Amino acid sequence: MRKVKVKIPASTTNLGCGFDCLGLALTCYNVVEMELIEEKGVFIRVEGEGENFIPKDTKNIIFPALEEIFKKIGKKPSGIKITEINHIPIGKGLGSSAATRLGGIVAASHLLDVNLSYKEILKIATKLEGHPDNVAASLLGGFVAVVNNGKDLLWIKLDIPENLKVVVVVPELQILTEKARKILPLKVSLSDAVFNLSRVALLVPSLTQGVWNNLQVAMQDKLHQPYRASLLPGMEDVFKAAFLAGAKGAFLSGAGSSIAAFTLEKEEDVGKAMKEAFSKNGIRSKVMILSVDREGVRVDEKKQ
C-alpha cells in the first residue's frame, strides 16, 4: 500500500497593511500522513496541538479536502488512514487550518494519482479556507502576494533577505476568525483606503530589498487592526514594546490572537518585551522565534 507524508509550514498574513493579500511562510510545521488501507472508512488520529479536541471523524476539517480530491475520481473517501501531527498553534492567526487543509489536498492527490497544478491546489484550498493568503504562503513558501479576482487566483512569490527573523508571541487567548471578521466595517473611508494602499506600496519593496527602517511605517494599518484591538487587550502595548526592544515592524498575525514582529537581532529581547507587555494586560503568552520558510509544502511518498 502507498503512504504519503506532507509537511506544511505555518503562515502569518496581512503583515499589517496587506489585508487578505500578503502572506509569509514560517518555520513551524504541521504534518499530515495519509495511507491507503484495505479496511473501509476514514480513520483519523491527531497528535500535538488540538489532540484532545479536534474531531476524529467527518467533522475534521481535513475531510472536506479529501472529498474534493475523491470527487475528481468519482468516489467517496474510504480506505484511508490519516495521522495529523500538529505543531502550529490552533486559532492563533498562524494558518493552522490552512496547513491542515493543504495537507489533506496534497496528500490525497498524490495517493490517488490526481495531478494538480499549484493553481488547482490553491483554488480548492481557497474554496475551503475562504481566503487565499494563508494557503498561498504555506503552499509556495516565502513571501507571497495573492489576489482572488472571483474567477481566478493570481500570485507572485518574492524573495526576502536571509537575515530576517520573525518573533511570534502567542497569547493564551483565542480569537475566532468568524468573530474577527464580523467586527470589521463593510465600508471604509477613502482616506483609510489610501492610507493602506500607500503602506502596501512601501512595504513590498522595502521587505524584498531589505530597507528595514521603512517597516515601522510601512506595516501600519487602518483597515482591520484598529477594530480587532478590542478583541485583544494590550495589542498596541505589545507593538510599542516590540519597537522599543529593537523590532523593525510589528503586526497582528492574521486575525489574531498572535502578534508577530520582524527582527534582525536581539530576538530574545524582543520576545521577552512583547510577552511582558501582554502580561501587564493580564494575558499569559509564549514566544516562538522563527525564520521564513522558503520552500513551502514538502511531499515524501513511499510504497509499502
**300 belongs to a structural domain:** no
Q: In CATH, what number is assigned to the domain containing residue 233?
A: 3.30.70.890
Percent of the chain with pLDDT over 90: 92
My answer on whether 47 and 171 are in the same domain is no
My answer on whether 9 and 132 are in the same domain is yes
Write out the three cell numbers for 136. Answer: 498561498
pLDDT of residue 116: 95
My answer on whether 71 and 208 are in the same domain is no
My answer on whether 229 and 271 are in the same domain is yes
pLDDT of residue 209: 97
Write out the three cell numbers for 151. Answer: 474567477
Residue where one domain finishes, among candidates 104, 139, 159: 159
Quote the CA–CA distance of 289 and 275 in Å, as a whole number: 12
My answer on whether 173 and 147 are in the same domain is no
Residue where one domain finishes, among candidates 159, 194, 228: 159
SS3 of 281, please? coil
Quote the CA–CA distance of 238 and 283 in Å, as a whole number: 11
Cβ count near 233 (within 10 Å): 16
**175 belongs to a structural domain:** yes
**252 belongs to a structural domain:** yes
Range of the domain at 285: 165-291
CA distances from 115 to 78, 106, 302 (A): 20, 10, 17
Q: In CATH, what number is assigned to the domain containing residue 133?
A: 3.30.230.10
My answer on whether 140 and 8 are in the same domain is yes
**169 belongs to a structural domain:** yes
> pLDDT per residue over 46-59, tens digit each?
999 999 999 999 99
pLDDT of residue 303: 61
Quote the CA–CA distance of 291 and 124 in Å, as a whole number: 27
> pLDDT per residue over 181-220, tens digit each?
999 999 999 999 999 999 999 999 999 999 999 999 999 9
Write out the three cell numbers for 155. Answer: 500570485
My answer on whether 219 and 245 are in the same domain is yes
My answer on whether 49 and 138 are in the same domain is yes
My answer on whether 174 and 143 are in the same domain is no
**271 belongs to a structural domain:** yes
My answer on whether 186 and 116 are in the same domain is no
**301 belongs to a structural domain:** no
My answer on whether 96 and 60 are in the same domain is yes
Domain count, the chain: 2
pLDDT of residue 150: 82
**69 belongs to a structural domain:** yes
Quote the CA–CA distance of 207 and 143 in Å, as a whole number: 9
**304 belongs to a structural domain:** no
Instruction: Collect all residues with Cβ–Cβ distance below 8 Å to 249 and sequence separation of at least 6.
Output: 15, 16, 215, 216, 218, 219, 261, 262
My answer on whether 184 and 255 are in the same domain is yes
Quote the CA–CA distance of 32 and 101 in Å, as a whole number: 9
> Which residues of the chain register pLDDT less than 70?
1, 303-304
